[in-house]
Amino acid sequence: MQPKAQRVLVAGGGISGLALAAMLARRGVSVDVVEARAHLTVTGIGISVPNNALRVLKALGVLDECAAAGYTFDQYVMCDDAGEVIVALPCPASPDGVPGYLGITRARLAAIIRAAAVSAGAELHLGTTIAQFAQDPGTAHVRLSDGRELDYDVVAGCEGIRSPLRQHLFGADADPVFTGYSCWRARPKMERRVGAMTKFTGATTKAGLVPISKHEMYLFHVTAEPGNPHYEPGGWRDRLEDRLAEYTGVIADVRDHLPDASEIVYSPLFEVRLPQPWHSGRAIVIGDAAHAGVPHLSQGGSQALEDAVVLADELTRRPVPEALPAFMARRFDRARRMQRISSEMMVREMTAKPSSREDLRAELSREMASVRAYLDRPL
């Protein structure tokens, strides 16, 4: 029988790459992580982490630390543009005690997972990329940008939507596709005003607030941006303020307390739909590199974390030629389903005629219950 993976290269120092590195290193695998950035400065404001991804953080041994650094909650609330509640759906803890949701800053989450990877023994190399890549049936041969030439059993690309490894392996067939929408994010300069994931339905846009600590929250705001126009960062605050003009109530208060333009993040929303398999030979891409989606179910980072734990499991259970197909059998349908449902939810929210409050309550209750039941299935 061929040996299991003993030496793995992870390309990308985001949450999926570092989670994969931590999981593998804890199981005795030698792991190198290369990250193009010279400093792991985290872009983005906050992130909502639902129960299925929190179970991954529990498996990684960092759930309690993440919960202490963020804010846990157990509801998903939909309001009108004035802030009047339309429906509040329970998102309870799972039977193993894992919370329904966690809100946390991206920087805090990344720092905790990075510390877990390093403490487990993974080697982190900043300002380093894959310069050349080749493979034969038994080994992946890599020359890094720092000049080192190394051999690995597996190379895992966790580089996000612009993944160079995906481009190398699969060409342009799975290049990111702009959805027609963008998301603005900011941390308002005011005390937290919500205690759960709270969305607000405007006539032409959708806004939301997520608690990320005892005193902080972050704003996300999805807008149609046909043609993916470029906006100078210096004008982001004014543009976001204009786009929030239709709201009253708490979102109007947030609009009056936006931070400076330099503290606002503007992200055009892309999808990546890499057909299966996501691997070629001894190289594989996971997370946003394989299945980037829109954020409407908080499943982008969540599915990437699930990828990491499943890939680590398969690589330490089976020989590599068996492990990568086994990973695909467990992950492809689940990740693609969450991507599809998130996209459908976004398009419906942004384009459909407003439902009556009773219909919206029923529709949202059914949809969220169905999603939760599906995500409660074992990985």
Domain borders along the chain are: 7-70+100-176+271-351
Percentage of the chain modeled with pLDDT above 70? 99
Helix (H, G, I), strand (E, B) or coil at 299: coil
Residue 26 CB neighbour total at 10 angstroms: 20
Distance CA 208, CA 198 (A): 5
Encode pLDDT of 242-260 as tens digits: 999 999 999 999 999 999 9
Helices (H), 192-244: 236-243
Distance CA 259, CA 269 (A): 22
Residue 287 makes CB contacts below 8 A (sequence gap 6+) with 12, 14, 16, 17, 158, 160, 303, 304, 307, 308
- Spell out the CATH class of 7-70+100-176+271-351: alpha beta
> What per-residue confidence (pLDDT) applies to 51?
98
Q: How far is CA 31 from CA 4, 36, 142, 312, in A?
A: 14, 17, 14, 11
> What per-residue confidence (pLDDT) applies to 76?
95
Give the pLDDT band of residue 355 (cuts 50, 70, 90).
confident
Q: What average pLDDT is seen over the chain?
A: 95
Encode pLDDT of 14-38 as tens digits: 999 999 999 999 999 999 999 999 9
